[in-house]
Chains A and B, each alone.
Chain A
């Protein structure tokens, strides 16, 4: 079945199990890179992995509209399911899209109380109960540490996994001062040789799922992680 194949073939599945075999604890994760290397694609693949496991994901898009965010999922889904029939892809997509909700905010209006209010609205009415949030498009250069600390508190209190993406302008992740707030930090780096290859480096993982320094590769055309 296509769904099982997709789960089995996803290299990002490594973040689900700790080295001791237990389920990985909820985490606060961060994907960093220079612009255009595929941060959103990584977040979408993390979200898709959850959705395929019938776990609900809230995709929070700061500054991007619903249609564009949705098309990211459609494109990545088509890329990871290469070889499957259109019908099979549609069936899986129909099934798992119930596990995703997109929420878009203006950069200026995004904050913890607002997000929490929206989430509680959904959870209390039994409309949607996410186990993972992916937050894409937040400008780390403009937000202050308080917001991230708030989000960290919220993540611990609600036992949700929260993944962020952040743009860096130099090769070094040191540009982001708040790395200490994250359990896992992944970095997308282009190959030094300039031959178009992109690597996904695990800079930090305190949940014990992945060894620090583990490198995965990204298909530069589809931005899908190969493993």
Chain B
């Protein structure tokens, strides 16, 4: 049976931490009959919300992994991806956005647009995701949807247009006025499931008229018919307004704003209606893949169920039955029993079971068409792999993956744990490209690295809970790097010609800073002073030297090594001899080339009440931070700064006590900068001391 693609919506629910994403999703599942009881995120019943499927998430009351779930509203298939709100899990958010067609951006009616919302909004813009806004928590003291709408316009630079006004606010919130239909909607019953429509309360009529004017003004920009109808006077047809708003939203030029309180069961059904009305169906979005057979030429995918299959594995989970792979199909049909190709590995994969996920429960299906988000069982792949049918070779465009900035050593508590830890690490690195692991050959420690303290903490917790692998974690370490600052020459002879077979090689040339890239090798040897077969040995020798800089033992980046002179011996020169000569040459040149230690600098944005501005700035200053600027908005101040990562450990505790818990901060990698001269010796001494201890 062919599905009507018009009746599919793939949406993400995305926002700042603690603005109520999980609660909203929970309510959506309740109203769409997917669950039969509502459990709160931090509820007293101890069950937790359905979307927070990992125990850890339930315990902390935050969403870590985006669980995909399916529901049906008014005859439409809706796939929902619940996305994490903390900046440390940004890769999850970005990956989710890649496969979505539209998104609901949730904002708190009190907190408004906070820094993480800005990041998420930027990501949505990058992936051209049409969005609608839901201003949640209108039942909270201090709720002010108008202020938040102003912030959306100002801070997110979006053309926000209110579609509703609240009936009552804070504790008195009972419903909303729908500005399209000009009717009051009340949510009644224990769980807000009884919807009652009524006339607009008299005291709100004037405000409703004024806001409707604004809505018509904004919507008429996208429809000549609507404009004409408004100019003609009389009643403006509802469907004309809705289609104009839809057009503006899909063109990313308008963002309809809805309000409510998921926790108090107000406004959720109207939001679901708006997802159907204003967010795009899969075929309204253009998706592009790279044709690997045709020099990576960009190709627009067709959304045709009969076209060759293209689907993207965007998320992996390890369940009781093995690996569960979430895929989004873009074109073609995925059918149980089909053989498809993983275009990264070239391997054939047979589809065993195909399921539609509802958080932890699943529904077996036989076929998935374009636009579907489903899960496959037992498919070995990594996150971000593209699967196609055998007759084409395409890849969805690569995703932007930031480099990890923090690492720590982990040790299993016993041998049994060691196996489980390896399994866990193997799984996590496949699931999350920003989480990496390797073994330090000198200390034998297993090192994990990622995007922040919380990022690594969560994985360590997950090892314990999901794999029964308890590990001892060392103190977090900053991923320092080394580089050179000036050109320096080298001329090194490696000579060992006493007894047995000898070794001889001389390498001359220079090294210089490389503006872009990590390493470059340039061969300017003329006249064969270094024989052809040993040129690559020199390259190998230099590459090996890059792993561990002579300054403090950190990887060396940004170096160009040029060889232009040398000497060889007809018998004693060998691959090894030239590798050793190049290593010696590198060492000789390195210290003359002004080596410096580089540290990751983070962009830190702190938001808090203005009264704490002085204290917050002081705390940044104490951490070698540079304040880029401050932004005052009413009683709130946003302070943008750049702070070395090494100074940021434990900052959340400091900030909490400094501001009575009223301020919060986000942190993301900005760039590498040299460690200031005044403290570089101390830093190196500290690093060496730590290594010696091991």
> Which residues in A have some Cβ–Cβ distance to B below 8 Å?
59, 65-66, 69-70, 85-87, 94, 97-98, 101-106, 109, 114, 118, 121-122, 125-128
- Is B617 in contact with chain A by the CB < 8 A criterion? yes
Q: B651-694 CB contact bits vs A (8 Å, 1 = yes)?
A: 00000000000000000000001000000000000000000000
- Is B47 in contact with chain A by the CB < 8 A criterion? no
Distance from A135 Cβ to chain B, minimum over Cβ atoms (Å): 14
Q: B596-626 CB contact bits vs A (8 Å, 1 = yes)?
A: 0000000000000000011001100100001
Q: Which of B141-149, B439-447, B630-638 contacts A (4 or more CB under 8 A)?
A: B630-638
Task: Report the bound CA distance from A173 to B513 in whole Å.
Answer: 51
Known contacts A86-B515, A118-B613; A98 and B626 CB within 8 A of each other = yes
**B621: which A residues are within 8 A, CB to CB?**
125-127
Which residue on B lies nearest to A108, using beta carbons?
B634
Q: Is the CB of A103 within 8 A of B630?
A: yes
Task: Report the bound CA distance from A27 to B531 in whole Å.
Answer: 70
Beyond A102-B628, A103-B629, 19 additional contacts (C-beta under 8 Å) are A65-B631, A66-B629, A66-B630, A66-B640, A69-B629, A70-B629, A85-B515, A86-B515, A87-B513, A97-B626, A101-B628, A103-B630, A104-B630, A104-B631, A105-B632, A121-B617, A125-B618, A127-B617, A128-B627
Task: Report the bound CA distance from A128 to B620 in whole Å.
Answer: 12
Task: Report the bound CA distance from A45 to B513 in whole Å.
Answer: 30
Task: Report the bound CA distance from A101 to B634 in whole Å.
Answer: 20
The number of residue pairs between A and B whose CB atoms lie closer than 8 Å in the complex comes to 55
**A126: which B residues are within 8 A, CB to CB?**
621
**B513: which A residues are within 8 A, CB to CB?**
87
Task: Report the bound CA distance from A74 to B621 in whole Å.
Answer: 23
Which residue on B lies nearest to A97, using beta carbons?
B626
**B613: which A residues are within 8 A, CB to CB?**
118, 121
Task: Report the bound CA distance from A106 to B635 in whole Å.
Answer: 12
Q: Is the CB of A66 within 8 A of B617?
A: no
Q: Is the CB of B630 within 8 A of A125?
A: no
Task: Report the bound CA distance from A102 to B628 in whole Å.
Answer: 6
A-B contact pairs, 14 of them (CB 8 A): A66-B629, A85-B515, A87-B515, A97-B628, A101-B627, A104-B629, A105-B632, A106-B632, A109-B634, A122-B617, A127-B618, A127-B621, A127-B627, A128-B627
Which residue on B lies nearest to A124, using beta carbons?
B614
Q: Is the CB of B515 within 8 A of A101?
A: no
**A59: which B residues are within 8 A, CB to CB?**
629
Which residue on A lies nearest to B640, using beta carbons?
A66
Q: Lowest 5 CB-CB distances: which A-B pairs, in order? A: A102-B629, A66-B629, A121-B614, A127-B621, A104-B631
**A104: which B residues are within 8 A, CB to CB?**
629-632
Distance from B581 Cβ to chain A, minimum over Cβ atoms (Å): 30
Distance from B113 Cβ to chain A, minimum over Cβ atoms (Å): 12
Task: Report the bound CA distance from A101 to B629 in whole Å.
Answer: 5
Which residue on A lies nearest to B617, using beta carbons?
A127
Which residue on A lies nearest to B674, using beta carbons?
A94
> Which residues in B have some Cβ–Cβ distance to A below 8 Å?
513, 515, 613-614, 617-618, 621, 626-634, 640, 673
Q: Is the CB of A109 within 8 A of B632?
A: yes
Task: Report the bound CA distance from A59 to B631 in whole Å.
Answer: 12
Q: Is the CB of B628 within 8 A of A66?
A: yes
**A66: which B residues are within 8 A, CB to CB?**
628-631, 640
Task: Report the bound CA distance from A156 to B683 in whole Å.
Answer: 44
**A127: which B residues are within 8 A, CB to CB?**
617-618, 621, 627
Task: Report the bound CA distance from A106 to B154 in whole Å.
Answer: 11
Distance from B129 Cβ to chain A, minimum over Cβ atoms (Å): 21
Task: Report the bound CA distance from A106 to B513 in whole Å.
Answer: 44
Which residue on B lies nearest to A109, using beta carbons?
B632
**B673: which A residues are within 8 A, CB to CB?**
94
Distance from B620 Cβ to chain A, minimum over Cβ atoms (Å): 8
Which residue on A lies nearest to B630, using beta carbons?
A103
Q: Is the CB of B614 within 8 A of A125?
A: yes
Which residue on A lies nearest to B673, using beta carbons?
A94
**B614: which A residues are within 8 A, CB to CB?**
121-122, 125
Which residue on B lies nearest to A61, using beta carbons?
B629
**B627: which A residues are within 8 A, CB to CB?**
101, 127-128
Distance from B32 Cβ to chain A, minimum over Cβ atoms (Å): 40
Task: Report the bound CA distance from A103 to B631 in whole Å.
Answer: 6
**B631: which A residues are within 8 A, CB to CB?**
65-66, 104
Task: Report the bound CA distance from A178 to B94 in whole Å.
Answer: 52
Distance from A51 Cβ to chain B, minimum over Cβ atoms (Å): 13
Task: Report the bound CA distance from A125 to B616 in whole Å.
Answer: 11
Q: Is the CB of B633 within 8 A of A106?
A: yes
Which residue on B lies nearest to A120, using beta carbons?
B614
Task: Report the bound CA distance from A70 to B640 in whole Å.
Answer: 11
Task: Report the bound CA distance from A82 to B678 in whole Å.
Answer: 31
Which residue on B lies nearest to A86, using beta carbons?
B515
Task: Report the bound CA distance from A195 to B292 in whole Å.
Answer: 51
Task: Report the bound CA distance from A127 to B619 in whole Å.
Answer: 10
**B629: which A residues are within 8 A, CB to CB?**
59, 66, 69-70, 101-104
Task: Report the bound CA distance from A65 to B605 in whole Å.
Answer: 14
Contact of B628 among A70, A86, A106, A125 (CB under 8 A): A70
Which residue on B lies nearest to A126, using beta carbons?
B621
**A128: which B residues are within 8 A, CB to CB?**
627
Distance from B154 Cβ to chain A, minimum over Cβ atoms (Å): 9
Task: Report the bound CA distance from A66 to B515 in whole Å.
Answer: 28
Task: Report the bound CA distance from A101 to B641 in whole Å.
Answer: 10
Identify the interface centre among B629, B631, B632, B673: most chain A CB within 10 Å of its CB: B629
Distance from B334 Cβ to chain A, minimum over Cβ atoms (Å): 43
Distance from A94 Cβ to chain B, minimum over Cβ atoms (Å): 7
Known contacts A87-B513, A97-B626, A98-B626; A125 and B617 CB within 8 A of each other = yes
**B618: which A residues are within 8 A, CB to CB?**
125, 127
Which residue on A lies nearest to B154, using beta carbons?
A65
